[in-house]
Structure 1
Amino acid sequence: MQNRKILQEYMKYELGVTGQAVSTIRNRFIFIRNFLEMLEQENILAVDAKAEHLEQYAKSLRERKIQAKGFNERIFGIGHFFKFMEVRKYIPKMPFRIEYFQQKVITVHHDRSVEETVYMEILKKLYLFPERLRCMFLHLWCLGLRASEVCTLKGNAYYQQGKDCWIQVYQVKMKNYKKIPIPKALYQLMEVYLKKNGTRPEEYIFQNTKGGACYYSTFRHQMLKACRENEIANGEYIFKAHDYRHTVATMFYDNDVSLQSIRDYLGHTYEEMTRQYIDYMPKKIAQANEEFFSMQESSLASWLKKGE
């Protein structure tokens, strides 16, 4: 009963204070509940848990062959719960060090960046696309927004401070707002578009037939059709909105923007997520290899000669 009461208090904290996505909170609840159920099978209260109990739980995860990322999410969730208990004075201090249990995660490079030849072709033919699609696409290409963020933009999203132009975006996934700088050209284009369509501040800019936010499925279907009709990449290009998020992140990193700045710009909570959006490293390695082996003294033949 005590374990359940503390978990209830923790969930009130998560839902009311942290601002995490509901799906993240739900998953964390399941992880903690599973750990507490293991303790209760041995008649152990959460306030009496020790490092060996977490090791027992970690062993069960390894036996189930939970991958490193999922393994760490479970361990981190339990650690967060015990830190909550420490702050709320349920326990005097954390009974274990989370970092001792976490597994090494190998960063995955998805290599989803859109090739320059493709997006440049779209930009050259963009005047042939419907006006609404032009504006929506520019938000992907210029800003790397999520498609859900573009679809839910409202008339009051854009503003100017001095010479700088900004956009306020509601992050559907994160359940909060972020503000990022935007090119002045995009700001001016949207000013014209909003005035032309008479969009009020509280209205969605890109609406569905009922006046609500545009559905992503509708947006994607229309973009696929426009790319096909205008023979983008000879009609073989398959539009995927999220690829432009990878493209912008990679472009920033390629131009020496720090990982922390890219994380804040994209609206990520952790740098580990941001790293998955940067496709620059494999290209950098390939370029370095090519430059190295193009040098006469680094060629395979020269090394064989040295060996002789």
Structure 2
Amino acid sequence: MKNLPLHTPGFQRLVREFSRHLRRLGYNPSSCKSQPSSLREFLHWLEQQGITDVESVRPKHIKEHYQYLLERPNQQRVGCLSTSTVVQHLYTLKLFFHYQETLGTITANPISGLIFPRPVSPERTVLTVEQVKQLYSACETLREKAMLAIFYGCGLRRSEAEQLNISDVQFRNQLLYVRQGKGKKRRVVPMSGQVARDLQEYFYRERSQYEKKQDEDSRQAFLLNVNGHRMRGGDYGRKLKLLLRKVNLPQHFSLHHLRHSIATHLLEGGLSLEQVRDFLGHNSIETTQLYTRISQSYLATQTHA
């Protein structure tokens, strides 16, 4: 709810400062939009309770706001907020109050001692190798193959694919550079020969068809949409849904499922956790270990197929 009004000048300032703080920390663009929006909703709720400064916030207020979130209608679909959305709101408040504590604007952190129910995460699903082959076979353009090469072959996140520039792809050395991954972390992704060829064929044989804009960003972008602009998450998502429909695969598969899938397939192929961690750009091996559980589940389905 980014458009909720805030009548307290101090609260308006806090949202602006928190937004700048997130950008300095290196959060991706979507987080830099959604988290200030979550904070704005909390501050708006405080105003409705007659509270106009964060120093007056107590643990009971956090609990009451949590209960409000559980019951608040979803603005985009029927029903209440999803569990993951509520968790994101709480995470925003933890970040915000930790930030205020660091600045010394509050004497006690009202959320630090609170414990909320842990959400039950749905089991991650992956595409099989055969399903990935079906997606490739459904491609009608070199750009579609390049898209699969980026998300599956290179395991990029959506935000990383959006930022990919021509200068980031080295065909001869078969290397792809992620200049600003999650947390502003850089990494170098090795490309297989086929992945490098798919990207190279798109670049030399098809990209010029989409060159309609002459602005600097479009000239630098590796993948262009039909309007000649840099491909964005929505463009990629729509392309993937189209490919899924062509081969009758479930529509719940997303761009991030391609990243899950390549991680699982690499582990099944014998790569170590450390190698997959570096490939994906994870900060810790614990995050990569999640894929070992996916891998075991995937292996079981293959065994009984």
- When normalised by structure 2's length, the TM-score is 0.63
Equivalent residue, structure 1, for 2:169: 158
Equivalent residue, structure 1, for 2:224: 207
1:131 Cα deviation from its structure 2 partner: 4.2
Inter-partner Cα distance in structure 1 for 2:30 and 2:237: 24
1:97 corresponds to which of 89, 108, 112: 112
The residue matched to 1:156 in structure 2 has which SS?
helix
Q: Is the 8 A contact 2:149 2:198 kept in 1?
A: no
**Identical columns (%):** 15
1:90 Cα deviation from its structure 2 partner: 0.9
Inter-partner Cα distance in structure 1 for 2:81 and 2:29: 22
Residues 197 and 95 of structure 1: is their aligned pair in 2 closer, same or farther, counting only changes over 3 Å?
A: closer
1:262 Cα deviation from its structure 2 partner: 4.2
Superposition pairs of residues 1-308 of structure 1, within 5 angstroms: 1=8, 3-4=10-11, 7-8=14-15, 10-14=17-21, 16-40=23-47, 41-43=49-51, 45-62=53-70, 64=72, 67-97=82-112, 100-111=114-125, 113-120=126-133, 130-146=141-157, 150=161, 153-159=164-170, 165-169=174-178, 178-185=186-193, 186-187=195-196, 190=199, 194=203, 203-208=220-225, 211-214=228-231, 216=235, 220=239, 224=243, 236=248, 242=255, 243-254=257-268, 255=270, 257-258=272-273, 262=277, 265=280, 279-283=294-298
Equivalent residue, structure 2, for 1:300: none
- When normalised by structure 1's length, the TM-score is 0.63
The residue matched to 2:187 in structure 1 has which SS?
strand
For 1:213, the aligned partner's letter is R
Residues 30 and 191 of structure 1: is their aligned pair in 2 closer, same or farther, counting only changes over 3 Å?
A: closer
RMSD: 4.9
Inter-partner Cα distance in structure 2 for 1:266 and 1:95: 34
Equivalent residue, structure 2, for 1:301: none
Q: Is the 8 A contact 2:143 2:206 kept in 1?
A: no
The residue matched to 2:117 in structure 1 has which SS?
coil
Q: Is the 8 A contact 1:86 1:92 kept in 2?
A: yes
Inter-partner Cα distance in structure 1 for 2:131 and 2:122: 24
Q: Is the 8 A contact 1:155 1:205 kept in 2?
A: yes
Residues 102 and 274 of structure 1: is their aligned pair in 2 closer, same or farther, counting only changes over 3 Å?
A: farther
Inter-partner Cα distance in structure 1 for 2:16 and 2:134: 54
1:260 Cα deviation from its structure 2 partner: 11
For 2:261, the aligned partner's letter is T
Q: Which has the higher Rg, Structure 1 or Structure 2?
A: 1
Query: Paired residues, what number?
Result: 274
1:197-240 CA distance string (max 9 Å, x none): 798x9544443455433573698289749x95xxxxxx545796
1:146 Cα deviation from its structure 2 partner: 4.9
Inter-partner Cα distance in structure 1 for 2:133 and 2:89: 43
1:159-208 CA distance string (max 9 Å, x none): 49xx9743124779x79674332235244665576566798x95444434
Equivalent residue, structure 2, for 1:304: none
For 1:142, the aligned partner's letter is G
